[in-house]
Amino acid sequence: MRSNTLAGRRYLRRFWPTMLAYVAALFFAVWAIKTWQPTGILLVALSILPALPIIAIIGVIGLYIVEETDEFIRARVVRAMLIGMGFMLAVSSAWGFLEDGGVVPHAPAYWAFILWCIGWGFAQCVQGLRDRMAGSGEEA
């Protein structure tokens, strides 16, 4: 993500506190569930707690796309996101069929977001390398 635009700087100011909230929520929820062994609504609340910052991250990413005024950068980011989505859908679909066949174990659904992020990041790296090799001077 380029941070030399106003939208990029805003994105980073929103992203890092939200990501820190995710890490804190995840560690707290795992600790609390193991320590307290809750049931009912408390278990539901603790289980969903780490998802809330992830949902906020998705909103932060959406705000970045809306606020980015450099059309070239916005197009590159959206292209990378689409590649990431394709990667996530391909891996999830293949894994699902392997899972149905009993070849692989069940994977938690939260891996979909992780796969999307991996695909998005890889696509941005490839775009940056391609640009550097072409000599355009643009970075991912």
Residue type (1 letter), 83 = I
Residue 103 pLDDT: 99
- Per residue in 42-93, pLDDT (tens digit) is 999 999 999 999 999 999 999 999 999 999 999 999 999 999 999 999 999 9
Q: Which residues of 18-49 are buried (b: 16+ CB within 10 A; e: fewer)?
A: beebbeebeeebeebeeeeeeeeeeeeebeeb
- Per residue in 122-136, pLDDT (tens digit) is 999 999 999 999 985
User: Domain map of the chain by residue range?
Assistant: 1-69, 70-140
Check residue 103 and report its DSSP letter: S
Three-state secondary structure call for residue 37: coil
